[in-house]
Amino acid sequence: MNTVAETRLTRPGSLEKNPRLSQWLRVHRDGTVSIYSGKVEIGQGILTALAQIAAEELGIAVERIRMVPADTAVSPDEGVTSGSLSIQDSGAALRRACAQARAVLLASAAARLAVSTRDVQVADGVVRAGGRSTSFWECADEALFDREIDDTAALRSPGDYRVVGKPTPRRDLPDKIAGQPRFIQDMALPGMLYGRIVRPPHNFAGLISLDDSKVKSMPGLAAIVRDGAFVGVLAEREDVAISVQRALRLAASWREADPPPRDVHAWLKEHAAEHRVISEKGNAGARSRATKTLEASFTKPYLSHASIGPSCAIARIDDGKLMVWSHSQGIFNLRRDLALALGMREDAVVVRHVEGAGCYGHNGADDAALDAALLARAAGGRPVQVQWMRDDEFAWAPCGPAMALNLRAALDAHGDIVDWEHELWSNGHSSRPGRGDSPALLAAWHLTSPHERPSAINMPLPAGAADRNAIPIYDFPNQRVVNHYVRAMPVRTSALRSLGAYANVFAIESFMDELAQAAGIDPIAFRLRHLKDPRGRAVMEAAARRAEWSRWKSTEGRGHGIGFARYKNMGAYCAAVAEVEVGRDVRVDRLILAVDVGLVINPDGVINQIEGGAIQSTSWTLKEQVKLGARGIASLGWEDYPILKFSEAPPVEVELASHPELPAVGAGEAAQGPTAAAIANAVAHALGLRVRDLPLTHERIAAAISQST
């Protein structure tokens, strides 16, 4: 037996913060069970996976589970839904909570039947002994769960799983496919006013003047709210709110802000505030064997989250209490910063999660919540819905940071890497609310008494942020990895799916191919000779097999490439093979991904996440970059920020490794880096020359060709 102390060590963090059984579930007389999780549905299918886990440990049908939307008033605080951690955090906590709940319910049922728990049979919540029966539902009693989760209940062994590991349809999709109201954008509360924010779609240093004389008498206008440079409108009709917003934008004059740098990547390299060596390994003997040294620089542009549904929030202030409905990824953090920005006590604010469109990281969801709260102050107790317009979202939501990377490595005479150096320059990858002295919410920085805009930060390793996946997973005798943190932010940045891993893996895996070529060794064989990790080797071999890598026939303009990583160096393994055709533009013909996420909770859910991640990464890699102009972000609509279309999306094949005995890890961010690298390597293979600056557009390729001739 493990000691208690040991079990405690591996206890999920969510349980430490929320130790009472009653915080996690409630059993109802009608034969259903409400599950409370602090994690939120963002289109990744988490509620379905968590329902599976709960049903499994309770030993009941998954249809009996009701997932309660996260709400600061009733849900456990599980921080932010991010970093592919929900299965690890919430799943592991629910597993223990539900196992104990089952034990408690069984004991209560046995007592009711006046038998020992050893003598009962139980199926789907019905408990039988000696011809008599009762059920979990009959035993349901609030007081039963009013106790600490003590980790004494036995967890079901993965070999006996009946619900976990089976493809399970997503619980939220039937509504969404039927066109039923489901999103925060669809909520309509009685008496609700429609709000819009009058922000210029560009940077500004202040509001000089606002002439509202032309719009003041518009029928249906309820209020124009101004606090410093924050301006919003409230109207009885949504179309009126939009008309007034447009008119006021034209009638406002803004003080210009400093323009962003022209060459962002050069600027980043000149403005690092901190330099941290995050990995260093030395072996002079190995280094002295170096016979050939290669060097290369890579860049990644600012990327937009570019949700299809712009940010939205609803707020109501009633009797000094603020109620907010938001598609935030972190409702507790949002509550804290709302209180900070509004000068309210945290316990006077409730934030409830309502689903929004896919967000892929920290977009404008939290900002819209403060916007709505500020307008609600002028709404006389009526609820207010704020909907950002398309250009609000592009101009004001944080971007995924631009990055610059320099790599250098040395090979010995046998083609082994004997020295490795990786330097990266980047802004911080998180400016989420709830972490600093000043609210990380846009409107707070524009008020009459403005709060200071906090700089984006990096979470520490091992997960890391800008330096996520910067430490190579390969075994090199010498290595040095340096993270140059840039504090000043020409463009507001925050978390975008996979954070720094996308650029780091793109650079490392591109460079591995350059080194393989210099060594005259097949790229996959070259990687395998530097990789000991058996699970990593297995996914790479699986992808190569499925792609029939060694049987590739080269034809003019076509190429294939590999990319590999273990997300955060401790999460999901993913190897990608891309097959491309390079004409005027790059076309990806086929993507093959082999993935190992340990225990698979919902195979179809994992495959859906990997497919989606691979296609999104294809879009980033081939097409996407936020354009900058003199007034900041100049990509304000889909015409300036094209994303992958249906006719451009490649077929994606996913191979899933099965490891029921290993802990489950998230799949949502595993594919991005490897896919980018696989495409870049395939393009280099097709062209015989390498493009190191993302995205791999026609212009970039043409420039690379002209440089090489």
Paired tokens of 294? 């290669």
Taking the C-alpha atoms of residue 700 and residue 83, their distance in angstroms, rounded to an integer, is 31
Selection from other proteins, ligand FES, none that 645 binds (CB < 5 to 8 A by kind) is other proteins
- The contact pattern for ligand FES, residues 189-208, with x = CB under 6 A and - = no contact, is --------------------
- Candidates 361, 400, 428, 613; binder of other proteins (CB under 8 A) is 613
Q: Does 43 bind ligand FES (CB under 6 A)?
A: yes
Task: In whole angstroms, give the CA distance from residue 410 to residue 287.
Answer: 8
> What angle, rounded to 10 degrees, do the helices at 365-376 and 331-342 form?
40
Identify the CA nearest to 686 among candidates 518, 497, 556: 556
CB 392 to other proteins: min, Å = 11
What's 648's DSSP letter? Answer: G
Q: Given the complex with other proteins, which of 349 and 594 has the nearer CB atom?
A: 594
Buried residues in 479-489 as b, exposed as e (16+ CB within 10 A): bbbbbbbbeeb
Q: Is 306 in the site for other proteins (CB under 8 A)?
A: yes
- Which H helix or E strand runs over 97? helix 92-112
> In the bound complex, what is the minimum distance in angstroms from residue 163's beta carbon to other proteins?
17
Q: Which two tokens stand for residue 310?
A: 């712009």
Give me the least distance between CB of 140 and ligand FES, in Å please.
37
For residue 135, the partner it binds in ligand FES, other proteins, none, with Cβ less than 5 to 8 A by kind, is none
Applying CB under 8 A, among 170, 196, 492, 560 the residue interacting with other proteins is 170
380 binds, among ligand FES, other proteins, none (CB under 5 to 8 A by kind): none
Name which of 185 and 479 has its Cβ closer to other proteins: 185
Q: Total residues contacting other proteins (rule CB under 8 A)?
A: 61
Q: With respect to other proteins, which residue has the nearer C-beta, 531 or 643?
A: 643
171-210 binders of other proteins (CB under 8 A): 172-174, 176-183, 185-186, 188, 194
Go through the chain and tell me how many residues it has. Answer: 709
Binding mask 3-42 for other proteins (x = CB under 8 A): ---------------------------------------x
- How far apart are alpha carbons 226 and 2 in whole angstroms? 61
How far lies 250's CA from each of 105, 246, 247, 516, in Å? 64, 7, 5, 57
Distance CA 327, CA 43 (A): 11
- The option from other proteins, ligand FES, none interacting with 76 (CB < 5 to 8 A, set by class) reads none
C-alpha to C-alpha distances, 266 to 263, 298, 696, nearest whole angstrom? 6, 12, 19
Report the distance separating Cα 535 and Cα 662, nearest Å. Answer: 11
Query: What is the secondary structure of 314-378 as a DSSP string?
Result: EEEEETTEEEEEE--S-HHHHHHHHHHHHT--GGGEEEEE---S--SBS-SHHHHHHHHHHHHTT
Using CB under 8 A, which of 219, 320, 534, 583 touches other proteins? Answer: 219
Q: Contacts with other proteins in 360-379 (CB under 8 A)? A: 360
Which of other proteins, ligand FES, none lies near 651, with the C-beta cut-off 5 to 8 A by kind? other proteins
User: Between 88 and 619, whose beta carbon lies closer to other proteins?
Assistant: 619
Residue 389 touches which member of ligand FES, other proteins, none, C-beta under 5-8 Å by kind: other proteins
Cβ atoms within 10 Å, residue 305 = 23
Tell me which of 308, 702, 703, 705 binds ligand FES, using CB under 6 A: 308
Reduced 3-state DSSP string for 530-542 = CCCCHHHHHHHHH
Locate tokens 């961010």: which residue?
669
3-state DSSP percent of the chain in helix, strand and coil, to 5: 35, 25, 45
Q: Which does 172 bind (CB under 5 to 8 A by kind): ligand FES, other proteins, none?
A: other proteins
Q: Which is nearer to ligand FES, 80 or 357 (CB)?
A: 357
What is the closest distance, in whole angstroms, from the C-beta atom of residue 650 to other proteins in the complex?
A: 8
Q: Toward ligand FES, which CB reaches closer, 57 or 355?
A: 355
Considering only residues 623 to 652 of the shown chain, the ones binding other proteins according to CB under 8 A are 637-639, 643-647, 649, 651-652
**Angle at 71 (CA atoms; ends 65, 72), nearest 5 degrees:** 135
Q: How far is the CB of 357 from ligand FES (least distance, A)?
A: 6
Question: In angstroms, what is the minimal distance from the CB of 358 to ligand FES?
Answer: 4
Task: Write down the least CB distance from residue 697 to other proteins, Å.
Answer: 18
Contact with other proteins (CB under 8 A) among 281, 292, 390, 529:
390
Work out whether 604 is an interface residue with other proteins (CB under 8 A): yes
**Measured on CA atoms in the order 437, 440, 446, 448, is the torsion positive or negative?**
negative
Number of H helices, E strands in the chain: 19, 28
Rg (CA), the chain: 27
Instruction: Retrieve residue 305's tokens.
Output: 């989250």
Rounded Cα–Cα distance for residues 475 and 289 (Å): 16
Binding status of residue 310 toward ligand FES by CB under 6 A: no
Kindly state whether residue 580 participates in binding other proteins, applying the rule CB under 8 A. Answer: no
Size of interface with ligand FES, in residues (CB under 6 A): 4
- From CA 662, how far away is CA 651, in angstroms rounded? 29
- Picking from 301, 287, 507, the residue whose alpha carbon sits closest to that of residue 417 is 287
Q: How far is the CB of 385 from ligand FES (least distance, A)?
A: 17
Residue 174 partner contact from ligand FES, other proteins, none using kind-dependent CB cut-offs of 5 to 8 Å: other proteins
- Residue 173 is a binding residue for ligand FES (CB under 6 A): no
Going by C-alpha positions, the residue among 429, 431, 428, 458 that lies closest to residue 444 is 431
Name residues contacting other proteins, limited to 335-364 (CB under 8 A).
355-358, 360
Residues 314-373 contacting ligand FES, CB under 6 A: 357-358
d(CA 513, CA 417): 12
CB of 679 to other proteins, least distance (A): 14
Tell which one of 12, 31, 45, 260 touches other proteins (CB under 8 A). Answer: 45
What is the contact surface with ligand FES in residues (CB under 6 A)? 43, 308, 357-358
What is the contact surface with other proteins in residues (CB under 8 A)? 42-45, 169-170, 172-174, 176-183, 185-186, 188, 194, 219-220, 237-239, 242, 306-310, 355-358, 360, 387, 389-390, 604, 608-609, 611-616, 619, 637-639, 643-647, 649, 651-652
